[in-house]
Structure 1
Amino acid sequence: MTAALGASSCSIGACCIEGGGPFSGCSLGLAYRRRLQSRPQRAPEHCRICAAAFRPCIDIHQGRVKQIVGSSLKDLPKLRDEAGEDTLVVNFDTDLKSTFFAKLYQHSGLKGGHIVMLGADEDSRYAAFEALMAYPGGLQLGGGVTSDNAADFLNAGASHVIITSFVFREGRLEEDRLKHLVQQIGKQRLVLDLSCRKRDGKYYVVTDRWQRFSEFIVNAETLSSLAESCTEFLVHGVDVEGKQLGIDEELVALLGASSPLPVTYAGGVRSLDDLERVKIAGNGRVDITVGSALDIFGGKLPYAEVLAWHRHQEQALSH
C-alpha cells in the first residue's frame, strides 16, 4: 500500500501540527477527551497512579517509511519463498519522508519514540539520519547499531541507541560487548531491545530480524541483571507484532511486574481499548508503541485520539 497523507485524509491536519499546540482545534481530540472523562476507571485498587505513555515510531526499510510484519523480515536482499513469491509482509508504504513523521512527533510534543532501521542499506541510514536531525534529542535509534557506529547516531541527534543483535550473538548474551558499549557511550544513552517470542511457556529474546531464537529468557532475574547496563528496555511482542491481533497481555504483565527500568511494549495494538489493556496489565509501568493500526500508517486508529489518550495519562500523573 502506498499512501500520501494530508489534512483531508487522516487525523493529522493543520489543527494537530500547527498553531496553538496539538489539538488546539481538533474535534477528534476534544471528543475523545470527553469520552475519557465519562469512562469509568478500571485501574486495580493497588495501583494508586496507573498511567502509561504513547511512544511513537518510525520504521525504515530500504530508505522508506513502512510498516512491516516483523516476523516476515529476513536478511536476504529479495525475500522469496520456494514458489518464487514475495514473503515480506508490508502493511504500509508511503512516499512521505521520515522527516515528516519526526516533525509531526516534535509538534505533538512526543518524546521517547524510536526509529528502527529494518535493514543495513545506505538509503535507510540516510533516512534515519535525516529524521534524527529533524527532531534532535527526541527519538531513539535502533537497527544495526554497533560499537563502531553508536556515537555517529548519538552525534546526529539520537537521544539513545537501541541494541539487540550486537550483544546477542550465536544465541547468547555477549557480556563483554555490552560492557564495552556501556564504557563507550554510557548506560544512560543505551536502550536494550529484548523483543521476544514465546516457546515452551517462556519468552526468549529473538535476534537477526527476529528470525533467530536466543537462549536468553526474559524474566525478573534477567531484567534485573540487564538493568545494570542500560537505562530502558524496548520489547516487541513478536508473535503479534504488525498483525493487529491484540496485545500479548501475558508479556505486558510480566514486564509491568518485573522490569526495574522504564519499558516500552510494542505489538498487536489495534484500538484504544488495547492501550487501556496495556496500561492495566502493565500496572501503569509499561509504555506503548502503536504502528500499523494508526491512521498515519494506513490503519483505522486515529493518531489524534491516541495523542489525546496520551495527554490524559500525562494529566493523571501530574495530579
Structure 2
Amino acid sequence: MCGINVFDLSVNSESESDYTAIMVLLFLMKLMEAYEDGIYKEYVRKRYNEYDFKGVMDINRHIKINNPFLGKTAYSTREYSYDNDILCLIRQTLDYIKDYFPDILKGYLNNNVILNEIIDAIENATPSYRMNVNYSDSMKCRREITHPMYQKYEDVRKLALMILQESGQNVFDDKEEDTFGILIDISWLWEEFIAVKLLNEYSYEHLLTDNSKGSLQWSDKEYWYPDYIEKGKSDSKRNVFDAKYKFWDWNKDADIHQLLSYLFLTGGDTCGIIYPSHEEHCVFSFKKINSFSSFYKAVPTIYKLPLFIPSSEYDDYGEYYKKINISIQAWKQSFSAQIATS
C-alpha cells in the first residue's frame, strides 16, 4: 500500500490509532500528489514599519510606534505568500507524524525521495511557524480551499485536521457529515501478504498488473500476468503460482485452465493455487494433468496450497499474531518439502 510494506508497520490498536495510521498514509500520499502543482500559497496580510511606504497606512499603529516621527511609516499589505496558516498546518501534521508514526514516515521516505524535498520546502517556506500554536483551531485552516490551482490541497487540509484533532472519524459512527471513504482491495492485499510472508525467501517474483515488475507477452497487444513466477532465464522453465482470496477446491475449472495457460507460456511444469483456509490442519494436495502431457516435456502438476487463517475470536492481538506465524511456518515447511526443492 502506497509504496511501503504495511506488514512491517508497528502500530498498536488503542483508541482508534489503527484508523489514524490509515489517515497518515492517505495524508502523505495526498501531499505528494498536491505538491505536483507546487507549494500551496495564498494572500496574507503582512504588516511593516519601513521608510519605503508601499501599502495601506496603519494609522493607529503608526502613531503608537513612530512617536516621535523619524521617517518610518507603519503600513500593511496583502501579499501572495507561502508562509500561511495552511502550510503551517501541514508542517505541524508532519511533525506529529514524526513523533507518533515514525515507521510510516520512514517507509515513505525510503520509497519516495520526493517526500524529503517536500518536507524541506515546507519548512523553509514557513518561517512564522510556531510549535506552541494549534493550527487546527485556526479559522483560516477550517475554511475550504477553493482556489482552482490548489484543489488537491483540500484533501490534504481535511486529513491534517483529522489527524491533529485525533477525531478518527470512526467508521462505525452514524454521522451525516461528509467523511473520507476507504476502499481496500483485499485480493491485492492477499497477494502482497503471500509475496512478503510466504514466498519472499524463495525464488519467486510477484508480478503486478501495471507492468511495473514485468509481464508475460503472448501476443502483440495482450499480456497475461500470473501472480508469482519463478525467477530464471527466459529460455528456462519457470513455474507459476496464483493467489485466490476465496475458499478453493478442484471444481474451479476456470482457475485450472488459467494456470495451465501460464505453464504453457512459461515452459514450467508445476503450478498452484494459494488460498486462505479455516481448517487448522489443512494439507497440500496435487493433481497431475496427464491429458496435457503432449504439450509439455513433463506432465504438469497443479498444487492446492491452503494457508490456515485463524478466526478473529482472539481478544489479545499478540495471541493472534503468534497463531498466524505458526501457520506461516507450517506452510513454508510444506512448500519447501514438496515444491521448492523439486
Say which structure is richer in helix. Answer: 2
Structure 2 length as normaliser, TM-score? Answer: 0.27
Q: Which has the higher contact order (CA 8 A, sep 6+)?
A: 1
- TM-score when normalising by structure 1: 0.29
